[in-house]
């Protein structure tokens, strides 16, 4: 069981370039999430999905798009990268909706720098 994996681990972009971050989970989880982690701001939810074919906005969705075409994959896209999107991106998944009895499992993170 690999758990939650993220590709790539690191990436440097120039302003205006586009890229896609891939999150994959092999735990048959319904729910998947994308967060960004910035110094002094903790983790903030970008987008999430409650099942294959569904997506929803989180706290900071602007500048990002997502797709969940397959249950095991959750893609995060940056159409036109900006320096403000320099961050560490974490993907997470859970079997059901968050509760005291249900845990979120996190990926190792992707460090993105936008110049």
Partner 1 sequence: AQRVTQPEKLLSVFKGAPVELKCNYSYSGSPELFWYVQYSRQRLQLLLRHISRESIKGFTADLNKGETSFHLKKPFAQEEDSAMYYCALNTDKLIFGTGTRLQVFP
Please measure the distance between the N-terminal and C-terminal CA atoms of the chain and give it in whole angstroms.
36
d(CA 17, CA 32): 25
Q: Does 98 bind partner 1 (CB under 8 A)?
A: yes
Q: Is 101 helix (H, G, I), strand (E, B) or coil?
A: coil
Q: Is 1 in the site for partner 1 (CB under 8 A)?
A: no
Give 39 or 62: the residue with its C-beta nearer to partner 1: 39
Smallest gap from residue 58 Cβ to partner 1 (A) = 7
Sign of CA dihedral 106, 24, 57, 80: positive
Binding flag, residue 24, partner 1 (CB under 8 A): no
Binding of residue 27 to partner 1 (CB under 8 A): no
8 Å CB contact between 60 and 13: no
22 touching partner 1, by CB under 8 A: no
Q: Is 108 in the site for partner 1 (CB under 8 A)?
A: yes
107 is a contact residue toward partner 1 (CB under 8 A):
yes
CB atoms within 10 A of CB 22: 15
Per CB under 8 A, which of residues 52..81 are in contact with partner 1? 58
Binding positions for partner 1, rule: CB under 8 A: 4, 33, 40-45, 48, 58, 90, 92, 97-101, 103-104, 106-109
């Amino acid at each position: 069981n690999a758990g939650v994996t993220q590709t790539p681990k690191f990436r440097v972009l120039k302003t205006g370039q586009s890229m896609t971050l891939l999150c994959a989970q092999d735990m048959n989880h319904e729910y998947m999430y994308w967060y960004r982690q910035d110094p002094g701001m903790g983790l903030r939810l970008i987008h999430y999905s409650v099942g294959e074919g569904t997506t929803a906005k989180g706290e900071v969705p602007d500048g990002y798009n997502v797709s969940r075409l397959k249950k095991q994959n959750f893609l995060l896209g940056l159409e036109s990268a900006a320096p403000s999107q320099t961050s560490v991106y974490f993907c997470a998944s859970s079997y059901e909706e968050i509760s005291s009895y249900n845990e979120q499992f996190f990926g190792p993170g992707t460090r993105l720098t936008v110049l």
